[in-house]
Amino acid sequence: MTDLWLTPSPTGRLLFDDGGFSVTADPDLTDRLTVLTTVTDGRTRVRLTPALAATLGLEPEQPVEEGEFRDRLESAGLRLHGADHLFYLAEQDREALLAEPDDPSVRPLTAADAQAFERFQAQASEQDLEDSYVELDHWAVYGAFVDGELAGAASAYPWNDAPLADLGVLTLPLHRGRGHARRLVRAMARHALARGHELQYRCQLDNHASIAAAASAGLTRFGTWDVLSAERGTTTN
């Protein structure tokens, strides 16, 4: 994951880097602006399109402090959506994960589970459904069952043309705190790894329940990631 996130783009042009805050202009970005802060070194790396760099008055070898950069965004009428935590499975934790069988209560979902999935969605709040973005037709979908009914579900889809499977997970309120999210996340991680993808778990900074679920599932926080508000992707709950 470090290589994927931090290897310089062949089309990128480093405008400045003061050791803690850097800005790179890249015409091939999917989003106009991304802000990544990594846990290991505390550095913040901004990537943006050349057009946006020009709008913000960013010039090569003319560094600005991070606070000033954010002020320039605000002056240009641009707003960051609000950062997500990024969690991944660390290399040293993979062997144990792959050796661990799926719990009998957890299995992949298919079109044959449509009615069970509809009943599951009907018991969830609109906000939970929107935040989690768990869908039966995603790239991979797993469910956790209690007495033959779905208590929780997780799904993932390829993210930004990278070998990443972006995860959403939702447990119904009645069944929370019983390990269903942990079992679902670990099953999804095994599924993704077996297909050449890394599971990506994202959640907002104030979603403490989701942060706890990531830790319980054995994932490691890589950093935080943000984009412009209008370009926001789907987050994990």
d(CA 144, CA 117) in angstroms, rounded, equals 11
Place of tokens 């002056």: 75
Q: What is the side-by-side order of every strand in the sheet holding 84-88?
A: 13-17, 21-25, 44-48, 33-38, 220-227, 84-88, 198-204, 164-171, 149-158, 140-146, 106-108
Q: Which part of the chain has CATH 3.40.630.30?
A: 87-221
Q: Is the CB of residue 53 less than 8 Å from the CB of residue 168? A: no
Q: Which helix (H) or strand (E) holds 62?
A: none
**Sequential pLDDT tens for the chain (237 residues):** 888 899 999 999 999 999 999 999 999 998 999 999 999 999 999 999 999 999 999 999 999 999 999 999 999 999 999 999 999 999 999 999 999 988 999 999 999 999 999 999 999 999 999 989 999 999 999 999 999 999 999 999 998 778 999 999 999 999 999 999 999 999 999 999 999 999 999 999 999 989 999 999 999 999 999 999 875 444 444
Task: Kindly state the DSSP code that residue 203 receives in the 8-state scheme.
Answer: E
Options 3.40.630.30, 3.40.50.720, 1.10.10.10, 3.40.50.2300; CATH for 87-221 is 3.40.630.30
d(CA 109, CA 122) in angstroms, rounded, equals 17
pTM for the model? 0.90
> Exposed (0-12), middle (13-18) or buried (19+): which is 99, by Cβ within 10 Å?
exposed
Q: How many CA atoms lie within 13 A of 93 on its CB side?
A: 13
